[in-house]
Each structure stands twice: as C-alpha cells, then as structure tokens.
Structure 1
C-alpha cells in the first residue's frame, strides 16, 4: 500500500513539473510573437516637376469682318504638343503651379472678300506660360489656369491667287489664355489629363490694300480641347506600411 501511494505521489509531481515547464515555454514565446503588417492606402502628393505631351483640336471664331463668313474658321484643326511644369501641394488639399506649353496646329483660317481678295492665316502654333490653381482629392486634381499666350501666325492676302501686300493694326500675336482641366494619377509617376483652353490675341483691321480697309476688324482667337499625359518627378505616391 505504501509503495502504491509513493508511486501515485511521484506521478502527480512529475505531471505538475511538465505542466509548469509547458507554461513557462509558452510565456517565453510571447515576446517573439508578431502581427502581420497593416496595409495603409497610398499617399498622393502633387508637389514636384513634370513633363508631358498632348493632342486635341482647335476651333476659331466665325464672326469676324462685320459678320462676313470666314471660311473654315469653325472647322476643327488638329493640334499636338508638349508641356512642362511644376506643382506645389499645400493646406493639404490645394495645389498651385506653373506651366509652359506649346501646341503645333494644322490647317488654316481665313476669309474671302467681295472683289476676289482672300485672307489666310496658316496658324502654325499656340504657346502659353500660365499659372494654375486646383483642388485635389488623392489621385484626382481639378484646376483652373490662365496667363500669357502667343500665336505663331503665317498670314497672307491674295488676289486672283497672286500675293498682295497688306497691313494691319493691332498685335494679334500676343494675348492671353484661360482654361480648366481634370488630371488623374493612374500609376506611380504618371498622370493623365483633359483640358479646355481659350486663347485671345485681340482685334485688328486692315490698313492696306484700300479695298480691305472698310471690311471691319477681325479677332484672332481659339477654343482648344486637349487630352494629355504627364510624367512626374519626385512623386510621393508609394504605399506606406505600418506596424503595431
């Protein structure tokens, strides 16, 4: 009987020791336990420089020369070009920036006058230096812009197909532009945009030849629609991973 009791006590003591050891091992392993990293949404930042390209169309006014119909002014002309700029994001959802842009323009505008005179402007390009101001919600940016504009005009007057000397008042090469657009970051360092711009280069009238002096004034202006893509430097849109 004594042997049986001693054996029972020994087994109970051994079981308790094993339980204590297991508990101790479990406690030691806790400091080494880790949790999986928590994913955080990408943080978008518009601050930085960019370069890009665009394509689109240009449309000119058709109400010049005292109402005289001005040929193909209202027809669309293809344009394509480049842009370079810089943005700064602040406060924290506002963006301010500056941009230089040049668009090559195809086609021409003009008018045919009574008496056989023809005026033609093979406008070769539109340039601008503008500021822009916008509101961002992460990857999206809506903005307005405005500033200086330049029209690269190539003008001529002909009579019966032959060149005729002419003169005009006013400077219809230098003017202003205003516009608005929407831009969206679709990948790290890349954004796409759509934009409308209005260009106005003022009014002018003929001083020669005499037959055109009384035809009234004309305005050099353009409505443009563009779609483009930008490559952005110093873009801070990489995902952030946090631990806890």
Structure 2
C-alpha cells in the first residue's frame, strides 16, 4: 500500500510542471485590420469625350418637299463640368458639351427648282445636372441652353441665292438623362440620351419658298462617353480610414 501511495505521489509531482505550462496564458496575437469598403466621391471637376448617333425629325415643309433629315448621323465630341455631392446621395452639377456631326441636318429639294441644305456641323449645350448616386453609380437628368453650328446654302440651277427665315434655328434648349458609373479611381463611363430643340423656321425670302411652310430643327442623340475626374473632395473611389 505504501509503495502504491509513493508511486502515485511521484506521478503527480512529475505531471504538475507540464500541467502548469499548459495553463499559462497564450501570447496575444493582434487581429488583422478590417477591410474597408470604398467610399465614392463625385465632387470635383471632370473632362472627357463621347461618341454616338443623332437623328432629326422628318417633318420638313409640310411634306411638300423631297428630302429628309431623320437619317442617323455619327457624332463625336468633348465635355467638361463640375459636380458637387451632398445630403449625402445627391449630386448637383453643371456641364458644357460640344459634338461634331457628320452629314446634313436638312437637305430639301423644292418643286420649283430651289435646293436648300443645312450642313449642321455641330451642336453644343450648357446644362445643369441633378443626379442620385449609390456608390459607384449615378443616375441623372440634365437641361439648359443649346446651340447649333449651321452652314446653310440655297441654290437655284446651281447658283447661290440669298435667303432669310422668320426664326433663329441656331439657339435653342435641351434636356436629357443618363447613367454614369465610376469604374476606376478618377475614371467614369456614361451612357446618355439628349434632345436638342432649335424651333421651327419658315422662309421669308425668296418669296417663292414662303408658301411651303416651315421645317423642324431638332436632334435626338444617344451617346456613350468617358470622363476623367479631378476630385476636389478626395480621390474617388477612396477608402475609409480607421
């Protein structure tokens, strides 16, 4: 019995240091920092370019004239502006834009031999813009002043003729809507519809054309574009700091 008791005591004595070592506190390991979600900032200036197509309405001179202005024409241009993000998901801004056009806006052949051509070389706009953003996406509407760069000619038997209109079809108004997406730091892409209206015009002189009615001056455009953003409030997208 004494030998059994002594053996038990010896085993306990030998196992105590190992048990104590296991009970010691393990060293502290710092947890990895949390992964911060990107914070997208639309505030700042931007410049960019766009490509697209333009369509005009085919309602010239009460349908009495051979010609058309509703064929698709290629356009390409530049834009620049400034956006301010507030409240916190709304974006207010202003933008200037100019698009070069291919082809004629109006090409009309009158029954009495006159030929009128409006080679609309470009259209531009200065607009306000209001949008709603959720992270990298921005859905917006826009509207404001529009102008057209018109090169107009009137020929009779191939000879240039003087002419005048009862309205200005160089200045007008525009509205549009689009979606923009910030796909990389300081870069965003967009798709946009924009309508330009330059009013109706009727020949005053020569008198031989006054009776043919008016022609419509408008453009429906669809564009895709890209912008580089010089963010005032910080690079976008930026990462939250902890």
- Shorter-normalised TM-score: what interval? 0.7 to 0.9
Q: 2 CA distance for matches of 1:70 and 1:94? A: 48
How big is the shift at 1:198?
0.7
Per-residue CA distance 1:193-244 (angstroms, 9 max, x = gap): 11111101122211211211211122211111111111112233133465xx
* Structure 2: gaps (5+ residues): none
Number of equivalenced pairs: 238
> 1:67: Cα distance to partner?
2.7
Shift of 1:70: 5.5
1:62 and 1:70 in contact (8 A); partners too: no
In the alignment, structure 1 segments of 5+ residues that lack a partner are none
> Which range moves more in the overlay, 39-48 or 53-62?
39-48
RMSD (Å), alpha carbons? 2.4
Q: How far apart, CA to CA, are the structure 2 residues paired with 1:37 and 1:195?
A: 40
- 2:113 matches 1:116: yes
1:163-178 equivalences in 2 (<5 Å):
163-178=160-175
Q: TM-score, normalised by structure 2?
A: 0.88
Q: Which residue of 1 aligns with 2:208?
A: 211
1:95 CA drift (Å): 1.2
1:41 aligns with 2:49: no
Instruction: Name the CA shift for 1:70/1:241 in 2 (closer, same or farther; >3 Å).
Output: farther
TM-score (norm 1): 0.87
Aligned-pair CA distance for 1:15: 5.4
The 8 Å contact of residues 37 and 241 in structure 1, kept in 2 or not, is answered as no
Contact 1:39 1:241 in 2 (8 A): no
Match of 2:186 in 1: 189
